[in-house]
C-alpha cells in the first residue's frame, strides 16, 4: 500500500457476539480480522463492541455480556448504537466504519465520515433504508451481486470478505463424505443438500446452527424426517472442529436458495482445498470458479451429478484461489484504500493524507472485476474484487 500516513479508524461492530466470537458470528469474525490487519499495518483502531475484546484495539464495551439470545430484536442494537455514539463523542478519528444496521443513523451528527459495509440483501426495505441515509454515508458492498440490487446507492467500493487463509488446514486427500455447514433454514437449502447427497449415494454431515425458534421449526419440519442412514447431524461447530470437517470433506454442498450477498463458508472450504458444489444464486458465481474450484448448477436436480464431478477438482486450485482472492490481506487492502480516499475528501486541504493510489500488486480483471474503489470523479470503478 502506497502512502505512509497512519489513520485512526473507529470500527462499530454489531452487539450480538464478542470480538472474535466463540462460535457463530460471521460479521464479528470479519471485524476481528480487519482490526487485526489494520493494527499490524500501524494504524490506530478504536473498536466498539459487546462483551470482551481479544484485540489490541482501544475498546469500548457496550454490553458486559452480548445479548445473543435477543438476536433479531431492535432495542439491543439501538441501545448499542447509542453507546457507540457516547463512546466516540469527543474522540478525533479519520473514519468511522460501521458494520451494524443502526450505524448510518448516527452519521449526520458526526464530523468524521462514516463508511458503512452492507451485510444484507439490498432489495426491498433494506435498500430503501440506505437510500434515506445516503447523503451522510459512504457504502461498501461485499459482492457485485449485492451491489447490483441497488446500483443507485452511494457505493465507494466492493470489498470481498476475507479470512486468514494460512490458519486453515490444507488437505489434498479427502474422505468420502460431503458437508453442509451453515444455519438451519430453508434459505440455506439444508433439506436439498440431504436429498442431493442421498441421490449421489454419499454420506452427508450436517453441521448447522439451530438455536432460534424459526431454525428449530424448520429442522423439525424438513430435516428431522430426513435423518437416518447416510445423514449425520452434529449440530453447530466452530474453531478447529469446523476447519477439520471442511478440510476432510469431499466437497462443501451449498444449495443456497436466496441471493446471499456473500457466503464466507465457501471461502473457508476453498482455503482447506475443498471444492464447493452450489446453486447459482447471489454471490456464488463470484466466489466459485466453475469447473476450477467447484461446480455451480442452476437447479437442485443437478446437484448429485455435481457432487460426483467434484472429484475432478484439484485441491491446490481451491487453495490458490482462496489465497489470491479472499485472504484477509486483500480485504484490508480494500478498506485501507477506501478509508484514505474518504478521509482525504473530508479533511481540510492542508491536512490531506497521502495521495490515494491503488495498490500496484492488484490488477483489474475484466468486467468480473478486481478494480479499485471508485473515486468521486469516476476514475476508478468497483472494489477490491478477486480474479
pLDDT at 212: 85
3-state secondary structure of 100: coil
pLDDT at 90: 83
CA–CA–CA angle 348, 349, 355 (5° rounding)? 120
For the segment(s) 165-325, the CATH number from 3.30.300.30, 3.40.50.2000, 1.20.58.220, 3.10.20.30 is 3.40.50.2000
Would residue 235 be called left, alpha or beta, if left means φ above 0 and alpha means ψ between -120 and 50 degrees? left
Question: Alpha-carbon distance 340 to 347, whole Å?
Answer: 10
pLDDT at 386: 34
Q: Quick one: CA dihedral 267, 269, 265, 186, positive or negative?
A: positive
Q: What is the pLDDT along the chain (387 residues), one digit of tens a residue?
A: 344 589 999 999 999 998 988 766 689 999 999 999 999 999 999 999 999 888 999 999 999 999 888 887 889 999 999 999 999 988 899 999 999 999 999 999 898 999 999 998 998 899 999 999 988 999 999 999 999 999 999 899 999 999 999 999 999 999 999 999 999 999 999 999 999 999 999 999 999 988 888 999 999 999 999 999 999 999 999 889 999 999 999 999 999 999 999 999 999 999 999 999 999 999 999 999 999 999 999 999 999 999 999 999 999 999 999 999 999 999 999 999 999 999 987 644 333 343 333 333 333 332 333 333 343 333 333 344 332
* Residue that has been written with the C-alpha cell 426491498 in this structure: 124
Fold agreement between 8-162+327-351 and 165-325: yes
- In terms of CATH architecture, what is 8-162+327-351? 3-Layer(aba) Sandwich (3.40)
What angle, rounded to 10 degrees, do the helices at 26-40 and 328-346 form?
A: 70
The domains of the chain are located at 8-162+327-351, 165-325
- pTM value is 0.85
pLDDT at 346: 63
Q: Where are the beta strands (DSSP E) in the chain?
A: 8-12, 44-49, 58-61, 95-98, 114-117, 137-141, 155-158, 177-183, 203-209, 231-233, 251-254, 276-279, 294-297
Amino acid at each position: 500500500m502506497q502512502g505512509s500516513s497512519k489513520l485512526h479508524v473507529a470500527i462499530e461492530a454489531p452487539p450480538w457476539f464478542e470480538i472474535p466470537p466463540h462460535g457463530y458470528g460471521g460479521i464479528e469474525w470479519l471485524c476481528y480480522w480487519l482490526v487485526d490487519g489494520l493494527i499490524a499495518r500501524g494504524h490506530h483502531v478504536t473498536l466498539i463492541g459487546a462483551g470482551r475484546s481479544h484485540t489490541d484495539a482501544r475498546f469500548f464495551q457496550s454490553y458486559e455480556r452480548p445479548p445473543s439470545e435477543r438476536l433479531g430484536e431492535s432495542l439491543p442494537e439501538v441501545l448499542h448504537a447509542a453507546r457507540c455514539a457516547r463512546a466516540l463523542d469527543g474522540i478525533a478519528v479519520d473514519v468511522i466504519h460501521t458494520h451494524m444496521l443502526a450505524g448510518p443513523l448516527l452519521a449526520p451528527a458526526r464530523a468524521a465520515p462514516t463508511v458503512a459495509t452492507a451485510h444484507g440483501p439490498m432489495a426491498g426495505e433494506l435498500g430503501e433504508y440506505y437510500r434515506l441515509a445516503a447523503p451522510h454515508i459512504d457504502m461498501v458492498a461485499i459482492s457485485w451481486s449485492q451491489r447490483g440490487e441497488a446500483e443507485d446507492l452511494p457505493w465507494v467500493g466492493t470489498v470481498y470478505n476475507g479470512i486468514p487463509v494460512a490458519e486453515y488446514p490444507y488437505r489434498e486427500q479427502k474422505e468420502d463424505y460431503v458437508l453442509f455447514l451453515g444455519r438451519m433454514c430453508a434459505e440455506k437449502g439444508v433439506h436439498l443438500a440431504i436429498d442431493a447427497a442421498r441421490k449421489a449415494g454419499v454420506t452427508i454431515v450436517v453441521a448447522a446452527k439451530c438455536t432460534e425458534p424459526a431454525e428449530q421449526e424448520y429442522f423439525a419440519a424438513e430435516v428431522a424426517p430426513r435423518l437416518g442412514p447416510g445423514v449425520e447431524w452434529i449440530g453447530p461447530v466452530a474453531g478447529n472442529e469446523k476447519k477439520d470437517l471442511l478440510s476432510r470433506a469431499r466437497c462443501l454442498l451449498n444449495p443456497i436458495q436466496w441471493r446471499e450477498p456473500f457466503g464466507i463458508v465457501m471461502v473457508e472450504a476453498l482455503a482447506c482445498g475443498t471444492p464447493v458444489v452450489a446453486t447459482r444464486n447471489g454471490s456464488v458465481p463470484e466466489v466459485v470458479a466453475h469447473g476450477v474450484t467447484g461446480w455451480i448448477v442452476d437447479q437442485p436436480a443437478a446437484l448429485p451429478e455435481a457432487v460426483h464431478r467434484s472429484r475432478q477438482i484439484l485441491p491446490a486450485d481451491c487453495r490458490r484461489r482462496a489465497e489470491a482472492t479472499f485472504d484477509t490481506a486483500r480485504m484490508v487492502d480494500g478498506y485501507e484504500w477506501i478509508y484514505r480516499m474518504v478521509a482525504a475528501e473530508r479533511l481540510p486541504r492542508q491536512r490531506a493524507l497521502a495521495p490515494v493510489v491503488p495498490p500496484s500488486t492488484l490488477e483489474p480483471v475484466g468486467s468480473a472485476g478486481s478494480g479499485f474503489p471508485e473515486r468521486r470523479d469516476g476514475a476508478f470503478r468497483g472494489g477490491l474484487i478477486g480474479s
